[in-house]
């Protein structure tokens, strides 16, 4: 038994009419008078019904195509039970001309098999109404026979969504790129579980990166005197060298800059409210690299602590994180975060803001460079810094001034002030 071709019927003088919906798919079994596609001119939209019953063997049309009378829509594997063609009157031509009303002859009952398709049955007029409101008609429960959707159903759907403070127009999520091949097609692989900490932090990182307009300023701080001072620290009683991590000095320098630039010590929960939370405390987050993933404990009230105390606390919280013994609350409620790659290597990078904070300071590995100062080159220890900030709250000029202040705080003589 040969396949049956279903073509676009007589639509009058209209040519190159756009297909706005394809209501069936390949492999689907349909009955005569089931709607196949919806076409739309600049005046009206009409469903084209099937003139036969059978199983779709090939679909020759897609949304966006331009069609005219006689164009092939699809081919059917002819059903043994039905071989009588349904008369297709030139109704469609009339409907394009009349615009306002789609006649019952064309509005045939759509009986879509639930196990094959989830496309709702609805008249072209209802579909057009739904598109104008940005409503996915397939999510609307129809009140007519066989679940057919009418305009009143769409109005009720919109009202219900509004009452629930939901968006009528649903944002389209970026479509996931589907791999054409499996990884195993190219060689041996191993499937491993993502560490729990990384799984938990991933949603926060994604939220921060997609909702906060990040900008990153890169600069270098001259820490020659600071390093000289740090390496000269000794115990006044034993004479033994005191080991103080450079990060402790950076924490104190950052606190001083936060006091001068309070917008960096703020948060915005909802930009639409026009409000921002100005924090009166100075809790500095420290990104800790652990075998289980990145964790960010806080050095609470860093403004009231000496460098030696901060250095000791940095070691303690890092150890708690690596052993997964840190209190969950200690990972929240920060002013600003420092993430340092100095112990590993690297210079500049783009750190992601730790929401709901509005800025983060990235620190690279310091190195000695020849810097031209006062007419001659001098060997200086330079620290690469990368400041990422929320551009909704902080502009570029303010970020540059913040960096300059931070560099000054880490520069000559500041280390001595901190130690006193």
Number of separate domains in the chain: 2
Q: Are residues 250 and 398 in the same domain?
A: yes
Q: Indicate the pLDDT class of residue 315, thresholds 50, 70 and 90.
A: very high
**Of 85, 119, 153, at which residue does a domain stop?**
119
Mean pLDDT, range 242-251, rounded to an integer:
93
Coil, strand or helix: which one is 33? coil
pLDDT in tens, 56-65: 988 998 888 8
Using CA atoms in the order 406, 409, 415, 420, what is the torsion angle rounded to 10 degrees?
-120
Which residues are within 8 A (CB) of 396 and not within 5 positions of it... i.e. 6 or more apart?
215, 217
pLDDT exceeds 70 at position 287: yes
Q: What is the CA radius of gyration of the chain?
A: 34
DSSP 164: T
- Which pLDDT belongs to residue 176? 66
pTM of this prediction? 0.58
Q: Indicate the pLDDT class of residue 106, thresholds 50, 70 and 90.
A: very low
What residues make up the domain containing 342?
Answer: 196-419
Q: Report the residue count for the chain.
A: 420
The answer to whether residue 186 sits within a structural domain is no
Beta partners for residue 386, in sequence order:
218, 362
The answer to whether residue 158 sits within a structural domain is no
Peptide bond into 192 cis (omega under 30): no
**Of 91, 119, 147, at which residue does a domain stop?**
119
Q: Measuring CA to CA, how many Å separate 24 from each of 7, 75, 192, 227, 383?
A: 15, 12, 40, 72, 63
The answer to whether residue 163 sits within a structural domain is no
DSSP 241: B
Q: Indicate the pLDDT class of residue 248, thresholds 50, 70 and 90.
A: very high
Report the CATH number at residue 85: 2.40.50.100
Q: Are residues 258 and 346 in the same domain?
A: yes
Distance CA 51, CA 210 (A): 49
Distance CA 245, CA 248 (A): 6
The answer to whether residue 183 sits within a structural domain is no
**Of 119, 144, 166, at which residue does a domain stop?**
119
The answer to whether residue 218 sits within a structural domain is yes
Q: Are residues 351 and 239 in the same domain?
A: yes
Report the CATH number at residue 365: 3.30.559.10
Q: Indicate the pLDDT class of residue 348, thresholds 50, 70 and 90.
A: very high
Q: What is the DSSP string of 169-221?
A: SPPPPPPPPPPSS-GGGGS-----PPPHHHHHHHHHHHHHHHHS-EEEEEEEE
Beta partners for residue 56, in sequence order:
76
The answer to whether residue 155 sits within a structural domain is no
The answer to whether residue 201 sits within a structural domain is yes
Q: Are residues 113 and 22 in the same domain?
A: yes
Q: Are residues 379 and 285 in the same domain?
A: yes
- Which pLDDT belongs to residue 253? 95
Coil, strand or helix: which one is 197? helix
Tokens found for residue 396: 């570029």
- Percent of the chain, pLDDT > 90? 41
Q: What is the DSSP string of 287-311?
A: -EEETTEEE--EETTGGGS-HHHHH
Active site members = 391
Q: Indicate the pLDDT class of residue 46, thresholds 50, 70 and 90.
A: confident
The answer to whether residue 132 sits within a structural domain is no
pLDDT exceeds 90 at position 147: no
45 vs 92: which has the higher pLDDT: 45
- Which pLDDT belongs to residue 96? 52
Q: How many CB atoms lie within 10 A of CB 369?
A: 13
């Amino acid at each position: 038994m040969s396949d049956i071709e279903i073509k676009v019927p007589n639509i009058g003088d209209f040519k190159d009419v756009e297909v706005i919906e394809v209501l069936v798919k390949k492999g689907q079994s349909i009955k005569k008078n089931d709607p196949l596609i919806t076409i739309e001119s600049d005046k009206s939209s009409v469903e084209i019904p099937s003139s036969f019953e059978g199983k779709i063997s090939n679909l020759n049309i897609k949304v966006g195509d331009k069609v005219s009378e006689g164009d092939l829509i699809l081919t059917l594997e002819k059903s043994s039970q039905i071989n009588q063609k349904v008369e297709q009157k030139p109704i469609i031509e009339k409907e394009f001309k009349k615009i306002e009303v789609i006649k019952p002859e064309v509005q045939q009952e759509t009986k879509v098999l639930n196990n094959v398709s989830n496309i709702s049955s609805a008249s072209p007029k209802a579909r057009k109404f739904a598109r104008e409101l940005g409503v996915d008609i397939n999510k609307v429960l129809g009140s007519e026979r066989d679940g057919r959707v009418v305009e009143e159903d769409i109005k009720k759907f919109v009202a219900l969504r509004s009452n629930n403070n939901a968006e009528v127009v649903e944002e389209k999520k970026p479509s996931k790129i589907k791999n054409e091949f499996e990884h195993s097609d190219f060689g041996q692989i191993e499937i491993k579980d993502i560490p729990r900490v990384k799984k938990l932090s991933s949603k926060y990182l994604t939220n921060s990166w997609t909702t906060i307009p990040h900008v990153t300023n890169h600069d270098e701080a001259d820490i020659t005197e600071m390093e000289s001072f740090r390496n000269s620290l000794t115990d006044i009683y034993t004479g033994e060298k005191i080991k103080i991590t450079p990060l402790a000095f950076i924490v104190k320098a950052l606190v001083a800059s936060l006091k001068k630039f309070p917008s960096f010590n703020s948060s915005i929960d909802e930009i639409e409210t026009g409000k921002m939370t100005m924090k009166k405390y100075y809790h500095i987050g420290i990104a800790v690299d652990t075998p289980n993933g990145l964790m960010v404990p806080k050095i609470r009230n860093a403004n009231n602590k000496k460098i030696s105390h901060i250095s000791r606390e940095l070691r303690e919280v890092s150890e708690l994180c690596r052993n997964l013994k840190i209190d969950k609350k200690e990972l929240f409620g920060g002013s600003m975060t420092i993430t340092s790659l100095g112990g590993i290597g690297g210079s500049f990078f783009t750190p992601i803001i730790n929401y709901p904070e509005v800025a983060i300071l990235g620190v690279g590995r310091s190195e000695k460079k020849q810097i031209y100062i006062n007419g001659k080159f001098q060997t200086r220890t330079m620290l690469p810094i990368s400041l990422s900030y929320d551009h909704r709250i902080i502009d570029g000029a303010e970020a540059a001034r913040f960096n300059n202040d931070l560099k000054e705080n880490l520069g000559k003589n500041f280390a001595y002030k901190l130690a006193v």
